Each structure stands twice: as C-alpha cells, then as structure tokens.
Amino acid sequence: MQRFASELVRQALALNGDGPNFTTDIVPDTARGTGKGIAGSVVNLLTVAHVIEPVGITGVDGTWYQHRVKSKRESCKARFLDVHRLASVGAAREFLRRNGVAVLETAVQEELL
C-alpha cells in the first residue's frame, strides 16, 4: 500500500500541465501490487490525511456528486474511477518526504504553493 500511495502522490505532483485532476490510473502497473482493494484503501487514507481531495459538484438540492470517469487502463475499460486532486502541494511533498521518495521541484508546482 505504501508503494502505491507514494507513486500516486508522486505522479500527481508530476502531472504539471495536464491539469490538477487525476484518477488511480496514473499509478503504473509495477507499483500496483497484487491485492484487491489497494487503490480504494490508499485513496481513502490519503483523503483522510488531507493529501488528496475528491473532485465533484454540489447539486442545487445540496447533494454531493463525485466526478467519475472511465478507466483508461486496458484491463479496466468498463470501470468508473473517482477523480481527485492534490489538497496541497506542500502536503504532497511532505508525504513523499516522510516516505523517503525524492521529488523534483518544478515551476508549476511552485506556483501552486
């Protein structure tokens, strides 16, 4: 789970010009592990830790609607995934630092601070 979480946050920081939103599809297969439910567990833990946050809208009746998109992974084409964004670039960097993952500084990431 730690490898998946670190890679998810690292890839989210590396997105730069692709926009701030992402799904778990950004994690390469080599960092996914073999257990079922790893992605969902990691997303939940990172959300509770305020490293990432869900993307969606609140309807006129006050109901929250999570933004969801179809997976782009070949083996998961029919699966819908929740869309997230980094809650804070600083929190993402700190998460990676605490987990021993080196992060390159970029101009886009600096602007987000």
In this structure, what CATH number is given to the domain that contains residue 94?
Answer: 1.10.10
Q: Contact, 33 vs 4, CB < 8 A?
A: yes
pLDDT recorded at residue 69: 92
Domain that holds residue 36: 2-112
Neighbours of 43 (CB within 10 A): 20
Task: Identify which of 72, 67, 69, 80 has the alpha carbon closest to the alpha carbon of residue 26.
Answer: 72
Split into its structural domains, the chain has a count of: 1
Task: Identify which of 3, 5, 4, 18 has the alpha carbon closest to the alpha carbon of residue 92.
Answer: 5
- The predicted-structure confidence for 4-43, as pLDDT tens digits, reads as follows 999 999 999 988 655 689 999 998 877 887 777 888 899 9
Q: Contact, 7 vs 27, CB < 8 A?
A: yes
- pLDDT above 90 (res 74): no
Q: What is the pTM of this model?
A: 0.82
Token digits of residue 28: 């390469």
